[in-house]
Chain A
Amino acid sequence: MDNWFNIIPVLLILAASLAIFLFADWRRCLVALAVLYLGMFILLVQVWPLTLSAVKLITGWVAVVILAMNLPRTSINQDEGILSQHIFKVFALIMIWVLAFLISKSISSAFQISPEIAFSALAIFGCGLLQLGMKGQPFFVIVAILTVFAGFELLYASVESSVLINGLLALINLLIAFIGAYFTDLGEREDQP
């Protein structure tokens, strides 16, 4: 790692992705997602202009807010499950991080990007994929898709600086958040007698 300061955003991202994966509470999950976008911003600002990086951060936070707007009216799932379930999830995520670490070297040299960005992006992407495979509730699926896209965008931003493509990706993130809010709204109406 050339820049030792980057250990802070990387740790922030790892902690946030762990929280997204572990928490069954919707609010905590969204806070973790917001932290994840902050960690991404700190890494992005090193390869992109501040304004463009800020767009990513703001888009991510707006997506979080859109999802959060529907939460107060819906029931909050308490953390459930047994300790072994959490241990299994932590180990699964650690395996993903190890895998991300192992391939980040070749990815960073192939795409000529910094290893910490490659590792963080792959770790986020893997966490999202793992969540997509293990959680079936609409809200968590939406959060997982946003997580996958966050990982992808971190990697992609390092190689593609087109304003239009990144604007469209931001639009897609917002639309996914709207769809998530719509899902939550539908779920809430289903619960009503």
Chain B
Amino acid sequence: MSAPLIWFVFPLGISIVFWFLQARTKLVFWLAVVICFLLGLVALLQPIGGLLKIGPASLEIKDTLLLFGRNFTLQNSDRFFLAFIYFGAIFWFLGSQNSAVPAKFIPLSLAILSLLTAALAVEPFLYSAVLIELAVIISLPLLLNRGEPIGQGVLRYFIYQSLAMPFILFAGWILSGTQANTSDIAQLNLAALLLGLGFAFLMAVFPFHVWMPELAGETHSYISGFLLGVLPPAYLLIMLKFLNGLVWLKDAAFLPTVLQTVGAVMIVTGGLWAAVQTDLKRVFGFAVIMQSGFSLLCISLHSQAGNELLYLSLIPHMLILGIFAYALTSLQRRGLSPDLEGLKGQVRNLPVLSVALLTSLFSIVGLPLFAGFSLNLELFEQLPANSPLLVWLLVGYAGLMFAGFRFLIVLIGNNRQKWSLYESTADLFFLVIGVVVLFAMGVFPSVLIGGVWKTFSALLTLT
């Protein structure tokens, strides 16, 4: 038994079985939740390379699987990724039950997650570009439904994600030729440039970011929420693994500056564009860009603290996006348009939903008492003092804050209706829990963010 067999081949096989069982939605849902829970739990508790004891039997979990002549290797350092991916999947699957997503959501999502796991595991790493492309192609039927027009956002998503593959493959080829000879600076710089371009396409770095708000704006909010909540962090962790494997690039003097600049540009452009949006779904897309910028800034710190902050932020960020996407889906299920016109005075009809939308938005901004506050504060403290970068970051976050207050004013506007509670019981259950957790993360960050991290890091022996 090998780790890639457990976390890549098995879920991929299961996703194919689920595809044929789509009609039995409840069965597929419960099986998917149980399987993802077990996969996450095993990732959290079982060291790779150790013995997995099931009663009297014991199985050795090897780290490498040989498939088509290539090695797929998952090490103990990848267990955070595995636990994050599969526990995250449970979170998204739970919400999907009340979000009117098509039956293909769970099978295709599971296939995407297993391919992302394969992309992390495959050696040499250049193959991961191909596996990511496969995951993107599989995600397309998820975004398209019969009777709905094919929007520009979906097409651009496909184009930009596909363009990443050639650049990463070429970078991988150059690196495979020059890995032994790190004195060939010109070739190494070319490889770094191609790799950077590839990841810029994948992660919607400015100016390749247009697809993200468009995709969020024109597709089912919960599905785009899942993709935008899972793909960028997965790409980041894959990128981090590449960086750790390429010592010359990891230690390159230009890398922190480049990552800082790119991260700051993502936050500034995301924030400023969000400020002028009238559609909350598009604001969601820009918020994802800002979160990716935040993560790049964490990596740019090139320190243990920066890496910890990146890992710390992944769980709250996914939670925020999940609640945001769920609230947007809930609005649309009621036939309400999530724009300035459609949201006017809705706090009187849908108070919990309105609070959930604003809480998730202000959590990304990082206002005090909201979930993102402690994370943003920690990042600002870690960045060089007196750096002009801080001013730019404040400009970006101010842009998103402006958007948040704009929607707040619209939501609390008087639509001359009486106060009522139109949310369904299931909506109330998910949204109230979500809002309470986001507030609790803001008020008690050391307990809920730091505590979860400490538990994770102790179990995964990350520190």
A interface residue numbers (CB < 8 A to B):
125, 132, 136, 138, 141, 145, 148-149, 152, 156, 159-160, 164-165, 167-169, 171-172, 175-176, 179, 182-183, 186-187, 189-190
Contacts and interface: CB of A to CB of B under 8 A. Distances in A.
A186 B144 contact: yes
Contacts of B162: 145, 148-149, 176
Contacts of A171: 134
Contacts of A141: 155, 158-159
Nearest to B147: A189
B155 A164 contact: no
Interface stretch (B100-108, B165-173, B235-243, B275-283): B165-173
A161 B127 CA distance: 14
B71 to A, nearest CB: 12
Contact of B137 (A152, A176, A190): A176
> Shortest 4 CB-CB distances between A and B: which pairs?
A152-B166, A168-B130, A175-B137, A138-B150
Given A141-B158, A145-B159, A148-B163, 11 more contacts: A148-B162, A152-B165, A156-B166, A160-B173, A164-B68, A165-B169, A169-B130, A172-B133, A179-B137, A182-B141, A186-B150
B159 A132 contact: yes
Contact of B166 (A149, A164, A179): A149
B140 interface: yes
Contacts of A175: 134, 137
State the main secondary structure of chain A at its contact with B: helix
A143 B117 CA distance: 29
26 contacts: A132-B159, A136-B152, A136-B155, A138-B150, A145-B158, A148-B162, A149-B166, A156-B166, A156-B169, A156-B173, A160-B169, A164-B68, A164-B69, A164-B127, A165-B127, A168-B127, A172-B133, A172-B137, A172-B165, A175-B134, A176-B162, A179-B140, A179-B158, A183-B144, A183-B150, A190-B148
A183 B148 CA distance: 11
A138 B173 contact: no
B149 interface: yes
How many B residues touch the partner, as a band? 20 to 34
A190 B149 contact: yes
B174 to A, nearest CB: 9
Contacts of B159: 132, 141, 145
A138 B259 CA distance: 34
A190 B130 contact: no
Contacts of A149: 162, 166
Nearest to B141: A182
Nearest to A184: B150
Nearest to A164: B68
Interface string B219-250: 00000000000000000000000000000000
Interface of B: 68-70, 126-127, 130, 133-134, 137, 140-141, 144, 146-150, 152, 155, 158-159, 162-163, 165-166, 169-170, 173
B239 to A, nearest CB: 20
A189 B68 CA distance: 40
B150 A165 contact: no
Contacts of A145: 158-159, 162
A186 B141 CA distance: 11
B140 to A, nearest CB: 5
A167 B70 CA distance: 13
A164 B173 contact: no
Nearest to B170: A156
B162 to A, nearest CB: 5
Nearest to A133: B159
A175 B68 CA distance: 20
Contact of B144 (A132, A160, A182): A182
A49 B387 CA distance: 57
A186 B149 CA distance: 8
Contacts of A183: 144, 150
A168 B131 CA distance: 9
A187 B150 contact: yes
A175 B131 CA distance: 13
Nearest to A141: B155
Contacts of A164: 68-70, 127
A158 to B, nearest CB: 11
B163 A190 contact: no
A172 B141 contact: no
Contacts of B69: 164
Nearest to A187: B150
A172 B158 contact: no
B114 to A, nearest CB: 16
A156 B126 CA distance: 13
Given A145-B159, A148-B166, A159-B173, A172 B130 contact: yes
A132 B201 CA distance: 15
A175 B155 CA distance: 15
B190 to A, nearest CB: 8
